[in-house]
Every structure is written in C-alpha cells, then in structure tokens.
Amino acid sequence: MSKSHFNNYFSIDKKIIGKGSRVYIIAEAGSNHNNNIHQAKKLIDIAAESGADAVKFQLFRAKDLLKNKDQKIVNYFKKFEFNRSWLKELIRYSKKKNITFLASPFDKEAIDLLVEQQVSAIKIASSENLNQELLFYAAKTHLPLIISTGISNFSDIYETLEILKQSENKNVALLQCTSIYPCTPKNLNLNVISTFCNLYNFPIGFSDHSLGITAPLLAFAKGARIIEKHFTSDKKLKGPDHFYSLEKNELSKMITELRVAEQMLGSSTKDLLKEEYSTCRVEGIYANRNIKKNSRLNIKDIFISTPRIGVGKRYKDLVVKLKSLRNIKKGAAIKWEDLKN
C-alpha cells in the first residue's frame, strides 16, 4: 500500500488532527451513563468543563456485542446500553456545551443514525476493527474514522487499511490500544506509537485503559495526536467501566498536563532563545566604538561581554581579520551578518 494514500491530517469541527497539531482529546464516556439521560448529560458537562475536544459514547446492543456469552452477562450489560432515542438531544446538548459528540457504532443501524444526525466523525472500537463488513459500511460514509487497534496485529491492521482504501475514505487515524481493563503498564506497549508514526503518514493516537494519567502523557511524547481516556462522574457507581475511569479532577489534570506537554515539545530547531540572553554566562563580541562600513576590524574595535547575542567569544581572532559589512554602533553586539572578508 502506498504510504501516501491517506491524508496526513483531517479536521473534526474545524480542529486539525495530525503531525504538528494540538493533541485531540476524547473523553470516553462509554457506558458510564448507566442508561440514564441525566447522567449522560452530566458526563457531557464534565468533559466540556475539563477542556476535552470531544465526548464519546458507545452504541452497542448487549445481545449482539456478547454473542455466545452467558445470558446473565448479556442481561448485565443490557443495563448499560445507550438509548438511541437520546441521540438527537445529546448531540444538541453537546453543541450547546461547545464539545463534539462522538460515538462508537457496533451495527449498521447505529452508523445510519449517526450519519442522519450529522456527526463529524466515527470512532471504530477495537472489536469492530475486525468486523470487515461493518468497517467498510462505516468507511463508505466518508466521515473521518478513528480506529482503535486492540486485539489486532499488523496483519489485521493491513487488512483494515486495505478495506479503507477500497472505500476511498482517505481520512483515518489509528490508535494504539490494549483491550485489557484496566491495562497494566507492561501491556501498554507505547513503543507501538513510534512504529505507527514511522510506518504511516496519517494521524496516530492512543486509546488508554490504564489507571492514572501517566500513559497519555508518554503517548503524546511518542507522537500520539489523539488521546482517548475513560472518565466517570463517580468511580463508585455500579457498572463495568466506572472503577478504572478518571473522575473530573483527574480528567482536568490530564488535559492540563497534556496542554503543558504541547508547550514543552516546542521547536525542533536548536538555537539560543531570547529568554536565555538575560541570564546566560556565555560571552560574545561587542563593538568597542563606532565602526564604519568597510572598515577592517582590529582588537581595539571589540570587547567581550555577556550575554552572547551575536558572535561568540571563541571567534575573536577571526573577527579581527574581517571587514564590517555595514556601520556598527558602539556597544552593539557584533553578528556574523555584520561581517565580510
């Protein structure tokens, strides 16, 4: 497959996702709404107030999600199904709160409902990454697809990308993910993010099921530009996902730390920063008197002082052999662009 087939960035509600962009943060509500629309709205509030870019729910039916499982397990998960009649209201509520509504569909009807409600992107859960029929159906919507890669290997991912290529959907992101709840540190395999970044030209991210906020920060440093993390209003609530999810204060801290981490990465160019000038102890060369254009410099024309704004002290023997390219005022730092042979 051509590495350049997919777009190296795409946008969701005018927010650019890709290399060099801000990290796109998805607050994963999952099934933590507990089949209560007021709880669902509370989760949207928490996600918005914490600074997340999107809040995401899961549109599964327990009987389909848990085929061949004990009926008691099916009945338990049925209690946490997303009521699809809420969809329009919750999307409207999310817009009011200035946060993007996303969902993971687990059947074609759910995809149709999301398209009908004009969602901005579709999240593909790890299990459905292997459901080629559903994946192709989602891809044909031509909405951006954010795909988790839990329970997948490189062969599975290759087949997924081939399906997307056939659908002519060029907006895709892959998330490193381990489908263990909660996931232990040794099973996160964050180095896969670096591998993905080297292999693919499109956005790479991380769907986290570990405890705490350390993993998302490391994932960002590895190159993830989408971070998905489960959250809840209360870890003590009954349900399959509450206990390992972040509460509001933890979600807020994670997002704050990620925004700080963005600043920390800074520039890829190594240079002396303006903020370093006032405190650095490195010496530079300065004009000891007014120097006229085309004058040959001599040792009396210069003095050494801090900070090094222009030419460094170690080049003084060379500087006194050069001519001035322009007039240099007394006390000014001498720069290479001021000099010529």
Query: Token pair of 307, please?
Result: 């900070």
- Assign 19 a pLDDT band (cuts: 50, 70, 90): confident
- Assign 275 a pLDDT band (cuts: 50, 70, 90): confident
Q: Are 6 and 201 in contact (CB under 8 A)?
A: yes
| Buried residues in 312-335 as b, exposed as e (16+ CB within 10 A) | eeebbeebeebebeeebeeeebbe
CA distances from 123 to 29, 54, 146, 172 (A): 13, 11, 5, 10
Q: Give the pLDDT of residue 1.
A: 44
Q: Are 209 and 182 in contact (CB under 8 A)?
A: yes
Fold that domain 9-265 belongs to in CATH: TIM Barrel (3.20.20)
The H or E element spanning position 54 is strand 54-59
Q: Give the pLDDT of residue 3.
A: 58
CA 34 to CA 43: how far, in whole Å?
Answer: 11
**In 3D, which of 66, 60, 29, 52 has the Cα closest to residue 241?**
29
Other Cβ atoms less than 10 A from the Cβ of 274: the count is 8
Q: Are 226 and 26 in contact (CB under 8 A)?
A: yes
Each residue's pLDDT tens digit, 278-332: 777 889 999 999 999 999 999 999 999 998 889 999 999 999 999 999 999 999 9
Place of tokens 């993971």: 104
Q: Judge: domain 274-340, CATH 3.90.1210.10.
A: yes
Place of tokens 């650019």: 16
- Assign 21 a pLDDT band (cuts: 50, 70, 90): confident
Is the pLDDT at 68 greater than 80? The verdict is: no
- Assign 67 a pLDDT band (cuts: 50, 70, 90): confident
DSSP letter for each residue of 200-211: -SS-EEEEE-BS
Ranges of CATH 3.90.1210.10 domains, the chain: 274-340
- Assign 97 a pLDDT band (cuts: 50, 70, 90): very high
Other Cβ atoms less than 10 A from the Cβ of 35: the count is 15
- Of 67-76, 112-121, 180-189, the one with minimum mean pLDDT is 67-76
CA distances from 17 to 145, 200, 240, 286 (A): 12, 14, 30, 46
Q: Residue 260: what residue type?
A: V
Q: Are strands 204-208 and 226-230 parallel, antiparallel or unpaired?
A: parallel
Bond prior to 307 in cis (omega within 30° of 0): yes
Q: Work out the average pLDDT over 151-162.
A: 96
CA 125 to CA 148: how far, in whole Å?
Answer: 5
**In 3D, which of 225, 296, 302 has the Cα closest to residue 262?**
225
CA 312 to mean position of chain CA atoms? 39
SS3 26: strand
* Average pLDDT score over the chain: 95
CA 38 to mean position of chain CA atoms? 29
Q: Give the pLDDT of residue 85.
A: 97
**In 3D, which of 56, 72, 151 has the Cα closest to residue 105?**
56
Ranges of CATH 3.20.20.70 domains, the chain: 9-265
